[in-house]
Each structure stands twice: as structure tokens, then as C-alpha cells.
Amino acid sequence: MRKRPPVCTRERALKFATAVIALGAAIAVPATAQDFGERRTTVSGLPLTADQQAITPEHLWLDIWVDPEAQSIKGRAEYALEIADPASKIEMELDQRFRVTRVSLGKIELPAEGFRHTDGLLTVPLEGARSANGRIALRVDFEGEPRTAPNAPWDGGFVWSQTSDGEPWIATAMQGQGCDLLFPCIDYPTKEIGRVDSTIWVPAESRLYAAGNGKLLGIEDKGDWRGYKWSARQPNTYAIALNIAPYGVIERTHRAPSGQDVPLAFYHLRGDEAGAARMLDELAKYLDWFERRIGPYPFADEKAGIAQTPHLGMEHQTINAYGNGFRESDEPYDWLLFHEFAHEWFANQMTNRSNADMWLHEAAASYMEALYLRDVAGEDAYRAKLDEYLPRIVSKVPVAPGAGIDSGSYLDSSGWGGDIYFKGSWILHTLRELIGDEAFFRSLTRLVYGTAEPKPGAITPIYRDTDEFRQIVEEETGRDLEWFFDVYVRQPAMPLLKGTRDGATLTLEWEVPGNRTFQMPVEVKIGERTIVAEFENNRARVDLGSATAPFTVDPDAKMLRGLPEPVLTPPPPRRN
């Protein structure tokens, strides 16, 4: 996802008639095209209409001609769609800034009155055009000046920049606003396209190189244009990206622990070869670590790619955006490169079913940073990373709302856009401490691949939601963990641990909103020994051994809990 919200130091369908839509955790609400209007082009993940739900985008052949001087594009999108009954029309988002110049169904070009492009929604009536097997070809030609990103990657669109010697340096970052800023699409996480074959065209007389998603199939010169042809399997919709500059390319093949030979590539500005080579070395380390901890790199048949960008970063599938300037750090990793690469597993391979479950992307990617530091630099580095996250937690809204939300919530004042990183990381930390490493990592592997034993060559992207994650963890542990997810994920307030001391007896009590049951065990260190306090009806009693025994609650900070710290009744004064 786009990088962390700027409040942190590291950095943040729609029918013409009423339809019933499924939203997030199967909450049904009506939606019409007029419900959203201009919001459709500024946020992503708005509810699907019944017609959009019936459409499966199987293949897209996408041509984009980029004019750096005019800061405009022309595009041609040719879809192979599978359309189920009872769909009566094709509905796709396309930014209203674009002019639609041609629409064809099959081999028939439609007259101007045969389609509609209003408020960012392209509507094409089917009227019997669907073939007997439910498949149809759709072609859309469009052109215009795309949205310029006000503040990429948080407020996205096109970035029209220049290199130090004045050559064009162009990138897209569209997660919050969606794929419709670049091409017609169904802008919803579960509407990934089965295969995208894209050709990015740049002026032939330039030195520009267009890096794209997936595997490079070839480079073609045609008149005044040079086309870079790419093919990607089921890319995340917002992760389809343009990266255009006078790039040099460093490439190598890396033998991964899984036995896969993974093509690595860094598309860098000239003069930055040394930094790019160093980052490619880093990428190989990260890839090996993720394979050992989570499972095989999902896109080894394409590449693990990085493009140097004029904005900070984004997890564009197989072509991650990197704008961290090759900065040296006291930490033994490049946080931006690592975080975006983590999303190849947690976002691109495993994709949230709706924005309401986006914490599965961001919490996991952020927590992987802490776990990586634990493995390469030790427990203190791990704790330092978690300590860095803790004061950034806001806890005004749930990290996983029960109903679907759109991406506009990311930058609003609720703090959700930060909590899905930082609070989510602490939730995963707490879960790992509760269930142990073996069950925790097996759960993550099953979450990402749908199996605990993924095999290279037999990996396909998967959609997930929070309830599925809970079910996996419960199966791995044999425990009912509804109380854990109910308190930490489904409501905003953090549990408070209160304590009182009466002589040698310490009474601990969990206070949670709505008097929910909360069974989190708590370690108590008494002198040199540590015991685990088990709770019944949210209360536990601990025998301290004596009225003066020193003790510490949760001495190793194994769980997320609210502040202030427990206020404990002081022991009675000593008698001489």
C-alpha cells in the first residue's frame, strides 16, 4: 500500500436504478450511480453494483501512449469479459478527465449514444450482445490529461517529474484513488484481471524506458513511438503502474531457498548504479527471508522488480516503486524497500476482499519489518521497532470495521490509515506471543497461499478477509479466539488492565468496552520468577508470596493494552 500516513515520521458502482450490494462482511445496502458522483474518481473500493458483481475480467490488452511534453495519454483497453446473468450492462470506472473516443462490443463499434460516461462511470448496455457462453469482447479508446497526483503516493495519480538533467521522469501511484485514473476498470479489490498484457508507448526519439508489471515480452518501434510490452498474471488493480524514465537496468537471476530461479531487476536513473546494485543485493536477502518465513515468492515466473521513482513508494506488483534515495541507515535494512516488497505476499498474492480488511496487508507488512529485525539483529531491535509503532496508535475506529469502507478513510481524522499499520502490528505481535511461533507462521502461510505447504508453480492469488484469518488461527491452535479478534480488531478501544494489591495478593482485571469477555493471560514477574495469570470472567488473582515482594506485570511487553499503566495500591508500610 501507499506509505504510512504523513502524520507519522515515516509516512498515509453503480447502477442507474437501485441495486442490492454486498459490502464487507455481507452487509446489504442499496447503491445508485448518483450516490457517489465525483467521489468515484477520488476514492477506491466503492460498493459494487449487481452488474459489476456479475462481471469477471478475464484478460486485458492495454495500450497506453504517454506524451511527456503535453502531460497527456491516449489509451486502448480491450477486455475479454465473462458476464453472468442477470447483468444487463457493463459498468466500469473511468476518470471523468478522460474523453471516451470509441467503444466496441465484439466487432461492432457503438455510436456515441450507445454508451454513457458520466461522473467517472462508463456504462455500456448489453442488449443481447452477450455470446452464448457468457463471454464478450469490450474495447474502449480514451484520451486526455490524467489526474496529477497532489501528494503521491498518499493522494495519487500521475507524477510528471524530471531527472537532474531535465529528462522526463514519470510514475503513477493510484492506490487510494484507484485504477480508473489510468484505464477503465472495476475499481474493487476482488475484481483483479486474470491476465494483463500491456504495452507502454513512449516517444521513439527519446531515451525513455517504460518499466511495467510482469514479464517483458519485447520492445517494438512503430513510427514515432516505442512500445514496451509486458505481461502480468492477475495483478492487484491499483498495482498496475507506469514507470517511465531514461532508465538503466541491472538484472540478475537469484536462486531462492524454494529452488526457484527468480529474475531480479532494478530500473534506475543513470548515475545511481551503485545504489541500485546495493538495493538489488538487499532484495535478494529479503526474498530469501520471506521464503523461509512465509513461503515461495509468488511471481517467480515473472520477476521481482524495483523502479526508482520520484515519489516515495508503492507495492506495484513485480515492479515496486522505490523513492528512498538509497539512504544509509543505522538499521540493517532499507525500511521502504522491505515494506513494499512484503506486499508481494501481503497484498498482491493475498488480497483483501474489501478495504475494511486492509489491515491484513498493512499490519502484516509492517510487522514483518519487526520480525526481520528480530532475526537479523536480535530481540532488542525487534522491541525497538515495536516501541516506535506504539505511540502512533490512535484507536478511534476499529482496524477492521464490520462494514465495508472506501479508501477515503485512509487520510481522514479517524486515524484508521495509521492504525492498520501500527496497531495492526501490535495485534499481530500479541497474537504471536499468545499462540507461539509455530502456529503463528503456519497461520500466515495459510492466509497467503490457502495451504500450509505451498509449492512453486502451483500458486495462485487469493482473496481474504478478517474472519477467514481468525478461522485459520483457530484451526491451527484448536482454540476459540473470537474474544481476541472481537476486542482487538472489531472495536476501537484497547483493553485496559487494572490491578490492586492487598498484601500478598494481586488482583488483575481486564476492562473492555461492553463488558466483553477477554481471556488474555498475563505474565507477572515476581522477583526472579515469572508466572502466567489465567483469567476467569476477566479477573485473575496472583499470589505474590509476601506483602513486600516486588513484581512487574507483563515484563516483556507481550501484549497490546491501553494506557495508563495499572494503578496499583501500594503495599502497607513496613514495621520495624
Instruction: Cite the beta strand spans of 94-186 per DSSP E.
Output: 99-105, 108-109, 116-118, 121-125, 135-144, 157-162, 168-173
How many Cα atoms occupy the beta-carbon half-sphere of 127 within 13 Å?
A: 9
Angle made by CA atoms 567, 431, 520, in degrees to the nearest 5: 40
Distance of CA 480 to the CA centre of its chain: 27
Computed over its alpha carbons, how large is the radius of gyration of the chain?
26
* H/E segment holding residue 496: strand 496-502
Residue 429 labeled ligand binder: no
How far is it, in rounded angstroms, from Cα 209 to Cα 200? 9
If you ran DSSP here, which 8-state letter would residue 482 be given? H
Instruction: Tell me the backbone φ, ψ of residue 63, rounded to 5 degrees.
Output: -115, 130
Residue 362 labeled ligand binder: yes
How far is it, in rounded angstroms, from Cα 62 to Cα 83? 20
**Beta strand 168-173 pairing with 243-245:** antiparallel
Q: Judging by beta carbons within 10 Å of its beta carbon (0-12, 13-18, 19+), is residue 210 exposed, middle or buried?
A: buried
How far is it, in rounded angstroms, from Cα 45 to Cα 189? 7
- Asked if the peptide bond before residue 564 counts as cis, ω within 30 degrees of 0, the response is yes
- H, E, C per residue of 82-102: EECCCCCEEEEECCCCCEEEE
Residue 343 labeled ligand binder: yes
Cβ atoms of 8 and 389 closer than 8 Å: no
SS3 content of the chain, % helix, strand, coil (to 5): 25, 30, 45
How far is it, in rounded angstroms, from Cα 357 to Cα 447? 13
List binding-site positions for Zn(2+): 339, 343, 362
List binding-site positions: 339, 343, 362
